[in-house]
Structure 1
Amino acid sequence: MLTENHHGLAAMLSVRGNTTTSNHSCGSDDYKYPLFSAFFIIILSIGLIANCLALYVFIWLTTKKNPNTVIMINLAFSDLSFVLTLPCRIAYYLMDGEWIFSDFLCRVSTYAFYVNLYTSIFFLTTLSVFRYVAILFPMRSKTIFTIKRAAVISVAIWAFVALTSSPFLLFGSHEQGGKIRCFEPKDVDSWKRILVMNYIALAIGFAVPFLVILLCYVRIVVRLRCLDRNLKRRKLSQKKSVAMILIILSAFFFCFLPYHVQRTVHLHFVLSSEPDCALTALMQKIIVYMTILAAANSCLNPLLYYFVGENFRKTLSLRERGSLSSSFKSISLAYVLETKNGKQRRNL
């Protein structure tokens, strides 16, 4: 709703300027349809396979679960839920911005994007806090964060994000330019409501979690640097784990940060500045790419599970070894049977 909105933006600028300018007066935006289609097909393909595999490993193959596992299960479920709405978006873009599904699906698809975006941020923040406590308070971490408490935290995150994102359910499909549109605000009042929601989401949904993560990692780095050399050797694997978290979460915030900054600038320009076609077209192009980056987080989270989730990595390794062992045993058994049969034929 805050993203694929060039038609709604052009229409609103026309109203503000008291002109009869068409939706395409600021230039054609047809470039966005193949762009969104191509990237969302890639995100759908990777995200569906990766998150289904992650849930399968976490739920059915991981025997020793911990609080991190609970959070990662919820994160994977959030990504999978969003990915499952992508076929509707892809169809919309392949049909050059014409919504052929129900109004309900339009609302759900819009809602799912923001629920996934902010549950991902909060679940990643929770994992960072868990890691912070585990490193700075290793003896108390097991009693502070239990599986039950991790489940309660997960439910609280889902409830909070679902409730605060519910206003997006008010934005359904509507007719514009001779087509049924979705993901595009229809009037000035819609943009004003979105601006208010943007600042709330920016503060609570992004800025606060981002500051918490930065604080956690600064404290972790300081703590590791203060360890003596002997302890450093014993903590080498833990240090590598923290370094990997920094790398992966940095990638995630390269996805989230540009999107939130550009979304805010875009909305402020729309509601505060005089219409400027050149600037409008430029900002629309930027927000298209930022939206794709934000949506791509559903494909990146499985990397977090593999490199940070020790149990996840061990389970996959054991599974691979088990498969190789079974294959080796099958080949060995076949070889033995063939050898015995050959000896029996020679004896005859």
Structure 2
Amino acid sequence: MRNPTYALLFGSVIALGLPLNAVSLYVLLCCHGLKSPSNVFMVNLAISDLLLVTSLPMRVYFYATGTWPLGPFACICVTMLFRNNIRSSSIFITFICVNRLLAVVYPLRSRHLRTSSNASKAAALVWLFVLAVNVPESVNMSRFFIDYNESSCFEFSQNRIPYRSAIDCVPPVVLLIMLAVNVVSTALVSWTLHRRLNDSARVNNTVNVMLIFVMNLVMFTVIFMPVTLGVRFEIWKPAHTPLLCLASVNCCLDPLLYYFSFDGFWKRKDDVDL
């Protein structure tokens, strides 16, 4: 189905998301390195967003021309890159949130947990989880293309999707759990900063600290939850593609809301961040 509006929207995301995430990744690696858990999670978040951006040109072509000449395998790969971004980004954002929670509420007791080594192990587990979820979903999608011989991509009829396996319910459940973690973390950090003014004074720029938590909630409630629940459970099918457009915007917001909200982002830092 040819739709130049969607092509324009996805093209705009590419124009903004590619340079923002490329510059952010360069600054994080060259100026900060992987010396703190926050940096490890943000580097992986930037990589996840860049992977999403690399898949969007294919969507632009599809919606601009209404054709998909690359076959089912390419369609599955592009679709998986899109879904993987929502999953990995939501997890890495939650890790950033939990790391900040431990740094503010339990600064001393959590020092042995908040290490770059532990963060790297957690990031590796995230990518393994994402790949594990890809397997059954890719198999289901391949069965769809074989059974129905669809020549298009992204716009196939929702009522003709093959049988959903139990693993298909894992991402929404995990997303709901992470939303709850973000809500609790936000409440605890806010309570701590208001209750212990003397201790909170040692936190660099408390406004930025709370901004990160607030924007975490915005990302989950406005971007991640609607597209995950709406598409997975086929709620209001006409909104399927608009929700995907909205979800792709997260790769443009991540650099602005998380990377640039940290003090001294452009400065070389040897100290461990919160």
User: TM-score normalised by the shorter chain: which range applies?
Assistant: 0.7 to 0.9
Q: 1:212 to 1:225 in 2, by over 3 A?
A: same
Deviation of 1:107 (Å): 1.5
Deviation of 1:192 (Å): 3.2
Q: Distance in 2 between matches of 1:286 and 1:246?
A: 28
Structure 2 residue 52 is matched with structure 1 residue 82: yes
Structure 2 residue 39 is matched with structure 1 residue 69: yes
Structure 2 residue 229 is matched with structure 1 residue 258: no
TM-score, with structure 1 as normaliser: 0.69
Supply the AA of the counterpart residue of 2:87: Y
Deviation of 1:266 (Å): 2.0
Aligned residues of 1:305 and 1:312 also touching (Cα < 8 A): no
Q: Which residue of 2 aligns with 1:275?
A: none
Q: 1:174 to 1:260 in 2, by over 3 A?
A: closer
SS in 2 for 1:99: coil
Q: Distance in 1 between matches of 2:20 and 2:147?
A: 37
Aligned residues of 1:55 and 1:73 also touching (Cα < 8 A): yes
Q: Which residue of 1 aligns with 2:5?
A: 35
Q: 1:49 to 1:187 in 2, by over 3 A?
A: closer
Deviation of 1:152 (Å): 0.4
Supply the AA of the counterpart residue of 1:190: I
Q: Distance in 1 between matches of 2:128 and 2:147?
A: 34
Q: Distance in 1 between matches of 2:32 and 2:203?
A: 25
SS in 2 for 1:243: helix
Supply the AA of the counterpart residue of 1:293: L
Q: Which residue of 2 aligns with 1:17?
A: none
Q: Distance in 2 between matches of 1:252 and 1:40?
A: 18
Q: 1:123 aligns with which of 59, 68, 92?
A: 92
Q: 1:177 to 1:163 in 2, by over 3 A?
A: closer
Aligned residues of 1:174 and 1:186 also touching (Cα < 8 A): no
Deviation of 1:188 (Å): 5.5
Unmatched runs of 5 consecutive residues or more in structure 1: 1-28, 268-282, 317-348
Q: Distance in 2 between matches of 1:296 and 1:66?
A: 27
Structure of larger gyration radius: 1
TM-score, with structure 2 as normaliser: 0.86
Deviation of 1:207 (Å): 0.5
Structure 2 residue 200 is matched with structure 1 residue 200: no
Superposed CA deviations along residues 215-242 of structure 1, whole A, max 9, x for unmatched, are: 11111111122114x445x246342122
Q: 1:63 to 1:180 in 2, by over 3 A?
A: closer
Superposed CA deviations along residues 239-287 of structure 1, whole A, max 9, x for unmatched, are: 21222113321331211122233224526xxxxxxxxxxxxxxx33322
Aligned residues of 2:223 and 2:247 also touching (Cα < 8 A): yes
Supply the AA of the counterpart residue of 1:255: I
CA RMSD of aligned residues (A): 2.7
Q: Percent identity?
A: 26
Q: 2:255 aligns with which of 299, 302, 305?
A: 302
Q: Which residue of 1 aligns with 2:79?
A: 110
Q: 1:304 to 1:192 in 2, by over 3 A?
A: same
Superposed CA deviations along residues 87-127 of structure 1, whole A, max 9, x for unmatched, are: 1111111112x211143221110111111110001001111
Aligned residues of 1:241 and 1:308 also touching (Cα < 8 A): yes
Supply the AA of the counterpart residue of 2:37: P
Structure 2 residue 179 is matched with structure 1 residue 182: no
SS in 2 for 1:145: coil
